[in-house]
C-alpha cells in the first residue's frame, strides 16, 4: 500500500491553536500552528497540495482533522 501524503490538524492545545503536520514518505513534519481555516489552507499550499481551499471546503481525505473538525478552534 503506497504512503498517501496528507495534512493532519491536531487538537487545540492549552496555549491555543491547533498544530498542523504534513505526512509524506512515512514521516510527519510540523508545519506550524493554525488559528483558523486560512492558516490550514496556507500550510496545505506550502506543503504542495493542489487547490487547498477546495480541500478544506470539501472535507477531503487529504486533510485529517483530529480532536474536532474545521469548526473547532477553542
- Does the residue 36 lie in any domain? yes
Cell (9 digits) for 22: 504534513
**pLDDT band of 29, cuts 50, 70, 90:** very high
- Does the residue 74 lie in any domain? no
- Does the residue 72 lie in any domain? no
Does residue 3 carry a pLDDT above 70? no
- Does the residue 71 lie in any domain? no
- Does the residue 31 lie in any domain? yes
The pLDDT of residue 50 is 86
The pLDDT of residue 56 is 84
Does residue 10 carry a pLDDT above 80? yes
- pLDDT tens per residue, range 39-64: 999 999 988 888 888 888 877 889 99
- Does the residue 10 lie in any domain? yes
- Does the residue 73 lie in any domain? no
Residue 43's domain spans which residues? 6-65
- Model confidence pTM above 0.85: yes
CA-to-CA dists, residue 20 to 1, 33, 44, 58, 66, angstroms: 24, 6, 9, 18, 10
- Does the residue 51 lie in any domain? yes
Q: How many domains does the chain have?
A: 1
Amino acid at each position: 500500500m503506497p504512503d498517501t501524503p496528507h495534512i493532519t490538524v491536531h487538537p487545540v492545545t492549552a496555549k491555543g491553536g491547533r498544530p498542523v503536520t504534513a505526512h509524506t514518505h512515512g514521516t510527519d513534519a510540523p508545519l506550524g500552528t493554525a488559528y483558523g481555516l486560512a492558516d490550514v489552507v496556507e500550510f496545505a499550499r506550502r506543503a504542495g497540495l493542489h487547490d487547498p481551499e477546495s480541500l478544506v471546503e470539501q472535507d477531503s481525505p487529504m486533510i485529517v482533522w483530529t480532536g474536532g473538525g474545521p469548526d473547532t478552534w477553542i
